[in-house]
């Protein structure tokens, strides 16, 4: 088994390090310097892939392809805990998720982006918490994404000329099959904006890990509620995917400078949610679980 590295501790003057969770085409971009792929072990198992470290101006970026290079992991099989732990373990405190999705709104046509601010989680096969028997914790997920990151992404999208909607509800389904038409009409009736298979578990785990997290959903097609959905061929969807990947690269490149001056504390309190979340009495806490939480909850457990 690979040795799990100690959590990175930032020193005064260190550049901001931003984590990016994405798919194919979203872990490289023009202008990214000093790139190196590095394997990072975690107490929760292996992340989806190695992490790509690079530098863009005076900001460091760390890319993690959530499905692995070549898209080898199904949404249900992604090790979300390892992915979030790895990003925090290497010193990322801001995490931007970029992923493909379907649309429930006529106005959100293929090629549109949504800066998500809410989730409905319909997954049931995922490990979605770092806590459990031996250390129970309950964090608030009322506002599951970081408004500071959302503000920066909105500005960057406008700079890049990307059609973007600020705010929207992401329905996270289990998959890997797409929705039945009955499900699609149900989710549309709930007022959801987009549908995908990955972001809700990420958001919950990022919150537990006291990370600032933001989700950018890139619309590739309308879900099967749409009368013309079945008339979109695979080639058309692939064209949108490739175009969205280029837009996603541009968005990340443009948002990085807006995040280089990270505040000492998140205005929304993303970095202190564990202050009021741990419920298990100190003398009843499992030492083995505490050891696994060195990166995720080290701040509060060392206090």
Task: List pLDDT tens digits, range 44-68.
Answer: 999 999 999 999 999 999 999 999 9
Burial 218-246 (b: 16+ CB within 10 A, else e): bbbbbbbbbeebeeeeeeeeeebbeebbe
Which pLDDT score is estimated for 227? 87
Which pLDDT score is estimated for 91? 97
176: preceding bond cis by omega (within 30 degrees): yes
The tokens for 7 are 């959590």
What are the counts of helices (DSSP H) followed by strands (DSSP E) for the chain?
7, 11
DSSP 46-71: --SS-EEEEEETTEEEEEEETTTTTT
Judge contact between 240 and 220, C-beta under 8 A: yes
Average pLDDT for the chain = 93
Q: How far apart are CA 203 and CA 42, in angstroms?
A: 19
Domains of the chain: residue spans and CATH:
17-129+142-265 (3.40.50.1580)
Q: How far apart are CA 300 and CA 294, in angstroms?
A: 10
Judge contact between 113 and 163, C-beta under 8 A: yes
Q: How far apart are CA 245 and CA 166, in angstroms?
A: 19
Is there a catalytic annotation at residue 14? Answer: no
- Judged against a pLDDT cut of 90, whether residue 209 lies above it is answered with yes
pLDDT: which is higher, 132 or 232: 132
Active-site hit among 49, 85, 117, 223: 223
Average confidence (pLDDT) over 204-230: 92
Which pLDDT score is estimated for 9? 79
Backbone angles phi, psi at 206, to 5 degrees: -60, -40
pTM beyond 0.85, yes or no: yes
Average confidence (pLDDT) over 18-44: 89
Q: How far apart are CA 157 and CA 153, in angstroms?
A: 6
Angle at alpha carbon of residue 11, lines to 89 and 139, rounded to 5° = 45
Is there a catalytic annotation at residue 230? Answer: no
Active-site hit among 85, 94, 221, 271: 221
């Amino acid at each position: 088994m690979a040795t799990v590295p100690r959590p990175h501790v930032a020193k005064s003057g260190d550049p901001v390090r931003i984590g990016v969770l994405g798919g194919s085409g979203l872990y490289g971009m023009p202008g990214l310097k000093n790139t190196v792929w590095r394997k990072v072990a975690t107490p929760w198992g292996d992340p989806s892939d190695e992490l790509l470290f690079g530098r863009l101006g005076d900001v460091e970026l760390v890319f993690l392809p959530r499905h692995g290079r070549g898209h080898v992991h199904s949404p249900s099989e992604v090790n979300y805990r390892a992915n979030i732990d790895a990003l925090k373990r290497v010193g990322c405190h801001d995490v931007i998720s970029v992923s493909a999705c379907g649309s429930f709104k006529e106005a959100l046509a293929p090629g549109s982006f949504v800066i998500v601010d809410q989730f409905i989680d319909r997954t049931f096969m995922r490990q979605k918490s770092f806590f459990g028997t031996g250390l129970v914790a309950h964090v608030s997920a009322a506002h599951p994404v970081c408004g500071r990151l959302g503000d920066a992404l909105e500005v960057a999208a406008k700079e890049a000329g990307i059609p973007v909607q600020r705010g929207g509800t992401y329905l996270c389904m289990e998959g890997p099959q797409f929705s039945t038409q009955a499900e699609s009409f149900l989710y549309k009736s709930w007022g959801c904006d987009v549908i995908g298979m990955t972001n809700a578990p990420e958001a919950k785990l990022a919150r537990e890990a006291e990370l600032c997290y933001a989700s950018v959903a890139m619309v590739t097609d309308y879900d099967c509620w749409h009368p013309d959905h079945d008339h979109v061929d695979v080639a058309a969807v692939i064209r949108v995917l490739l175009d969205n990947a280029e837009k996603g690269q541009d968005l990340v490149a443009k948002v990085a400078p807006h995040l280089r001056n990270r505040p000492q504390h998140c205005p929304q309190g993303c970095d202190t949610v564990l202050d009021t979340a741990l419920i298990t009495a100190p003398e009843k806490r499992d030492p083995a679980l505490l050891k696994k939480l060195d990166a995720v909850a080290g701040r509060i457990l060392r206090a």
